[in-house]
């Protein structure tokens, strides 16, 4: 099992499309061959301490001020919303048993295929091509009375990990559907020999509660300070 520093590297690379060296507590800079992220500083707080990941063009004299801002952004209550230039999130890994097992989850949800194109397009207009792309696999859904009401998929995929994306129709929430698709997705990803990761905005208490029910626990709480300048060519902003 990867340690928390390795998990952080895997997570940041998956979300932002960057390349990182091996991480250690303290300061590290995005790899020279990497695309530039749209943030100047990504700060993660782990059990082993703080990790500060810097974009390569951040000058030494700017760093103290950015660290001060990042620490202040980590301090507010969990429900404090993100702002235009500050993003806060929690990344979690599966370490405990889910509140429902695979057998029960399979009674509620199933894997979706190209045969479900119409259902996917009805769930979210013209979304089938997105969900059925190979990099989004595996995809699981709950179909209720001929209508797709909940979907889990790989929103980000690398050779080492997949990160979960899950959506449930508002009128179908609190029925255990999101938990069922999350459990099946995580089992399928783990069966590939890669890490199923869950991440959510720090203020998204409903998503974090779902993660907890599925057996996920935080390995990092983080903040990233977005650049004041427009993103340069090659910079990546993740789909949320």
For 86-106, what is each residue's pLDDT tens digit? 999 999 999 999 999 999 999
- Taking only the tens place, the pLDDT of each residue in 128-174 is 999 999 999 999 999 999 999 999 999 999 999 999 999 999 999 99
What b-and-e string marks burial along 135-155, b requiring 16 or more CB atoms within 10 Å of the CB? ebbbbbbbbeeeebbbbbbbb
What b-and-e string marks burial along 169-178, b requiring 16 or more CB atoms within 10 Å of the CB? beeeeeebbb
Q: What is the pLDDT averaged over residues 206-231? A: 87
The answer to whether residue 195 scores a pLDDT higher than 50 is yes
Q: What whole-number distance in Å separates Cα of residue 161 and Cα of residue 198? A: 10
Contacts of 231 (CB under 8 A, 6+ apart): 38, 237
| Helix, strand or coil, per DSSP, at residue 206 | helix
Q: What is the DSSP letter of 36?
A: P
For the full predicted model, state whether its pTM sits above 0.75. yes
Q: What whole-number distance in Å separates Cα of residue 60 and Cα of residue 27? A: 12
> Is the separation of the CB atoms in 135 and 145 below 8 Å?
no
Q: Percent of the chain at pLDDT above 90?
A: 85
Q: What is the pLDDT averaged over residues 119-135? A: 96
Q: What is the pLDDT averaged over residues 117-129? A: 96
The answer to whether residue 8 scores a pLDDT higher than 90 is yes
The pLDDT of residue 79: 65
Identify the CA nearest to 209 among candidates 194, 198, 195, 223.
198
Q: What are the domain boundaries of the chain?
A: 4-92+220-226, 102-214
Q: What whole-number distance in Å separates Cα of residue 88 and Cα of residue 70? A: 10
Contacts of 23 (CB under 8 A, 6+ apart): 5, 6, 8, 9, 51, 53
| Helix, strand or coil, per DSSP, at residue 7 | helix
> Is the separation of the CB atoms in 110 and 143 below 8 Å?
yes
- Taking only the tens place, the pLDDT of each residue in 151-162 is 999 999 999 999
Contacts of 102 (CB under 8 A, 6+ apart): 183, 184, 187
Looking at domain 102-214, does it have CATH number 3.40.630.30? yes
The pLDDT of residue 236: 44
Identify the CA nearest to 225 among candidates 75, 69, 52, 86.
86
């Amino acid at each position: 099992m990867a340690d928390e520093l390795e998990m952080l590297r895997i997570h940041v690379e998956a979300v932002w499309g960057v390349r990182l060296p091996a991480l250690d507590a303290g300061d590290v800079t995005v790899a020279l061959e990497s695309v530039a992220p749209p943030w100047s500083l990504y700060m993660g707080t782990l059990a082993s301490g703080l990790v500060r990941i810097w974009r390569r063009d951040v000058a030494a004299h700017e760093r103290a001020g950015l660290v001060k801002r990042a620490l202040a952004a980590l301090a507010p209550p969990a429900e404090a919303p993100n702002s235009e230039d500050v993003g806060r999130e929690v990344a979690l890994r599966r370490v405990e048993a889910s509140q429902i097992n695979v057998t029960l989850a399979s009674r509620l949800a199933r894997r979706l295929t190209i045969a479900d194109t119409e259902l996917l397009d009805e769930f979210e207009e013209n979304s089938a091509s997105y969900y059925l792309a190979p990099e989004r696999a595996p995809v699981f859904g709950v179909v209720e009375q001929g209508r797709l009401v909940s979907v889990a998929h790989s929103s980000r995929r690398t050779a080492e990990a997949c990160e979960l994306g899950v959506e449930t129709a508002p009128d179908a929430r609190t029925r255990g559907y999101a938990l069922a698709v999350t459990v099946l997705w995580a089992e399928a990803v783990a069966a590939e020999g890669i890490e199923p990761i869950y991440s959510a905005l720090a203020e998204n208490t409903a998503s974090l509660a779902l993660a907890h029910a599925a057996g996920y626990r935080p390995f990092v709480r983080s903040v990233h300070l977005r650049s004041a300048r427009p993103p340069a060519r090659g910079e990546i902003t993740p789909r949320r």
